[in-house]
Amino acid sequence: MGTKKMSKFAHILKVHPCYNEKLHDKVGRVHLPVAPRCNIACKFCRRSIGEECCEMRPGVAKGIMKPEEVEDYLKELIKKMPNIKVVGIAGPGDSLFNRETFETLEILYNKFPELTKCLSTNGLLLPRYAKKLADLDVKAVTVTVNAIDPKILKDIVEWIYYDGKVYRGEEGASILIENQIEGIKRAHDLDLVVKINTVLIPEINMDHIVDIAKTFKDTAHLQNIIPLIPLYKMKDLRPPSCKEIKEIRERCEKYLPQFRACQQCRSDAAGLISEKGLDIYGLKHFSH
């Protein structure tokens, strides 16, 4: 990791466990599941709300929280878990496609200024909202980028919904890629710390991931390559081996620092990342 890049987001490295694995048993985080709707259809994604509360993966939440429930929930949670220093919005849909995300960020801005704020997105709407995120004191944005070639991305993303219209195939993939590139640059220029999440799908994008790292080497600060969880329309595809993940990370590290300790957390995760089994549902929190 270059000195310049390290210094630019040193403030996040000190407080955010998703950017510094050494904090996994020290600093807690909470994901607020306020964003149920999504504007793209990834072939590996199967969102689950309410039914599979023990499943540990992105896109899963026990319920959807309303913005007006956030303040009481956080106050109660922080009393129980005073190590929580980071609050994020990670779905279970796309954060930027839900007005509730921005209502929640307003509450966090006004009521919880001491918490570090972050969110995850597919990036389709990031050019439109990067400035608003910065104004609401969001410090870090994770963008899932699985390909920067439409011919490859069309095999991962079935369609996108953009400005009232559905786009499929390479056309939809091209729009998504263009917006991701533009949005990440805008976020970077606004001093948001950008992490790239990339799902490694051996049969589709394994030899392409280094091109993603090259593309964002000047505008992102970190890349997090995570293994495919075979689900939905990719349920018959194989996940990558540990050796494959290691080799791809080493290739990409020439261009972007690599995060190697992602736990692929749920959309309603809370507490220390190291405490996977923590039961947060004893709290009287959100609607189901």
pLDDT digits (tens, 9 = 90+) for 95-122: 999 999 999 999 999 999 999 999 999 9
For residues 195 and 224, is the Cβ–Cβ distance under 8 A? yes
Burial 70-99 (b: 16+ CB within 10 A, else e): beebbeebbeebeebbbbbbbbbbbbbbbe
User: What's the confidence (pLDDT) of residue 282?
Assistant: 44
pLDDT band at 1 (very low <50, low <70, confident <90, very high): very low
More confident residue, 263 or 93: 93
Of 92, 107, 1, 98, the closest CA to residue 45 belongs to 92
User: What's the confidence (pLDDT) of residue 144?
Assistant: 96
For residues 128 and 1, is the Cβ–Cβ distance under 8 A? no
For residues 256 and 196, is the Cβ–Cβ distance under 8 A? yes
For residues 97 and 131, is the Cβ–Cβ distance under 8 A? no
Residue type, 80: K
Is residue 91 left, alpha or beta, with left meaning phi > 0 and alpha meaning psi from -120 to 50? left
Residue 185 has pLDDT above 60, yes or no: yes
Q: What's the pLDDT tens digit per position in 27-46?
A: 678 999 999 999 999 998 87
Fold of 3-8+28-272: TIM Barrel (3.20.20)
Of 24, 33, 129, 132, the closest CA to residue 90 belongs to 33
User: What's the confidence (pLDDT) of residue 124?
Assistant: 98
Task: Delimit the domains of the chain by residue range.
Answer: 3-8+28-272
Mean pLDDT across 143-170: 98
Mean pLDDT across 55-80: 83
Chain mean pLDDT for the chain: 86
